[in-house]
Chains A and B, each alone.
Chain A
Amino acid sequence: MRNKLFAIVLGFLTVSVPLMAHHGAAAYDTTKKLALKGTVTEWFWANPHCFLRFDVKDDKGNVVHWAVEASNPSDMVNLGWSKQSFKPGDEVTVTLEPVKNGLPIGRVVQVVLASGQILKGRVVF
């Protein structure tokens, strides 16, 4: 229920404020929000965009390799992220907007760490 409410709020915010608006939205389905639990495999801290790779087990036990992009390091630091935010093996819950073509790619809305800390991926203008 909380996720649903959160998704509705995010949906509203996405309409009124472009998400990471310095990057095009053409590839992403901005009407969808997925919240996935997984294990970090790589955290790439670089221009033009940082990205987080993590493995998600589906219902059948198959592992799906996801990759979500964030913004550039400067923007991410202002949002409280850092190069040390993740290491391989970390358990995370990632909320993302997926790409339209169905591949396991997306752009990050937020990440909840095992500690409960929330890192938001939204740049507010």
Chain B
Amino acid sequence: MLRFFFISTLALTPLLIVAAPERAHAAPQQIGSVTNQKAAPAPRHDISGIWDPGNGGIQPLGPAAMPEDGKPEHQVPYTPLGLETLNTHKPSNGTRSVLPGDTNDPVVYCDPQGMPREDLYELRTTQILQTPLNVYVLYQFGKIWRVVWTDGREAPKDPEPRWFGYSIGKWEDDYTFVVRTSGIDERTWVDRAGRPHSADLLVEERFHRVDHDTLELTVTINDPKMYTKPWVALNKLRFKREPPNFDVREMICSPSEFAEYNKIIGKPASGKDAQ
């Protein structure tokens, strides 16, 4: 069904799309095939495809360009409110981490990651589809999607808060698609390290089609209530293009599975209950 939609979407777009070289994949595979030929040039106004960031998207300590690792160059520019809110967040990874049983990370309990965290933690194989009015971004982790409007509309002035916010996208040049997301529910954490945000958060994503098989993503966080200046969370994270018949595996947070994990591993490991 998805592949049909992908192909029919391509048929709708008026621009010439460079076809991927034919690859002999009878069965779906998890590791993208390596092509020995040099990549074809980037198609114009096209970031569609199945994109694999490799292990660089997992980002266990927080976003790749600003991890919570205690290094001075990774000090986030908090306002006093930002720091105060940060201290109410108890992550289960990074230098501020608590024991697994003590975390209040909402994602651990299967709350949606929301924006921008969906880009900044467990970013895995990502499928992008373009239609004449919008761009769909389909994420493997949580099996969720976002819609980015490209029909010229403005972001709502008084938005109903959404976990994933409200996204407007524009082509800055033929190969760079810039997305601005606002109206994000305050319950989400910016990242795995627990950085906070207010209702005023503005997230900018820059998707840059480098060549036919490479996409880069840069994410900037702008929230004057929590941060004294914008900061870059992800800097040109590289994605490799997978063939169109690539099967993306499920990664879904199941409350019942988490409860079982917590009973057998999480709580005992934290010294909460003996087995």
Query: Which chain A residues have a beta carbon within 8 Å of chain B's beta carbons?
Result: 18, 21-24, 26-28, 44, 46-49, 51, 53, 65, 67, 69, 72-74, 77-78, 99, 101, 103-105, 123, 125
Kindly state the separation between the CA atoms of A105 and B265 in the bound complex, as whole angstroms. Answer: 7
- Tell me if B5 is interfacial: C-beta within 8 Å of chain A: no
A-chain residues with CB within 8 Å of residue B264 when the two chains form the complex: 44, 51, 53, 67
Q: Are A27 and B252 in contact, with the CB atoms below 8 A? A: no
- B92 lies within 8 A of chain A by Cβ: yes
User: A53, A78, A99: which has the most chain B beta carbons within 10 Å?
Assistant: A99
Q: Can you report 13 A-B residue pairs in the complex whose CB atoms are below 8 A from each other?
A: A21-B60, A23-B60, A24-B97, A27-B100, A44-B260, A46-B260, A47-B257, A49-B265, A67-B264, A77-B30, A101-B271, A105-B268, A105-B269
User: Residue on B with the closest CB to A78?
Assistant: B30
Pairwise interchain contact A123-B30, C-beta atoms closer than 8 A: no
B residues contacting A by CB (< 8 A) are 30-31, 55, 58-61, 91-94, 97-100, 108, 122, 124, 140, 249, 251-254, 257-258, 260-261, 264-265, 268-271, 274-275
Q: Is the interface of A mostly helix, strand, loop or mixed?
A: loop
Cα-based distance from A48 to B251 in the complex (angstroms):
9
* A21 close to B58 (CB less than 8 A): yes
- Residue pair A74, B61 in contact (C-beta under 8 Å): no
Asked whether B122 lies within 8 Å of A47 as measured between CB atoms, the reply is no
Give every chain A residue within 8 A of B252 (Cβ-Cβ).
47
A26 and B268 in contact (CB under 8 A), knowing A46-B254, A77-B249, A123-B55?
A: no
Residue from B58, B59, B92, B253 in contact with A24 in the complex, judged by beta carbons closer than 8 Å: B92
Q: Are A18 and B265 interface neighbours, CB within 8 A?
A: no
CA distance A115 to B261 in the complex (A): 28
In the assembly, what is the distance between CA of A25 and CA of B30, in Å? 28
A105 contact set on B, CB distance < 8 A: 265, 268-269, 275
Are B261's CB and A48's CB within 8 A?
yes
- Complex CA–CA separation, A24 to B254 (angstroms): 20
Q: Are A72 and B269 in contact (CB under 8 A)?
A: no
- On whether A24 and B55 interact (CB within 8 A), knowing A46-B254, A46-B260, A47-B254, the answer reads no
- Per a CB cutoff under 8 Å, which of B97, B258, B271 touches A48? B258
Which chain A residue lies CB-closest to B264? A67
- Minimum CB–CB distance from A104 to chain B (whole Å) comes to 7
In the bound complex, do residue A67 and residue B265 qualify as a contact, i.e. CB atoms below 8 Å apart? Answer: yes
Cβ contact within 8 Å between B60 and A49:
no
What's the Cα separation between A46 and B265 when bound, in Å? 13
> Is the CB–CB distance between A27 and B60 below 8 Å?
no
Q: Is the CB of A22 within 8 A of B124?
A: no
Would you call B124 and A69 a contact (CB within 8 A)? no
Q: Once the chains bind, are A26 and B97 in contact (CB under 8 Å)?
A: yes
* Contact B269–A27 (Cβ < 8 Å): yes
Neighbouring B residues of A67 by C-beta, 8 Å: 264-265, 268, 275
Interface pair B60/A26, CB less than 8 Å apart: no
Which residue on chain A has the smallest CB distance to residue B56? Answer: A125
Q: How far is the CA of A46 from the CA of B254 in the complex (A)?
A: 8
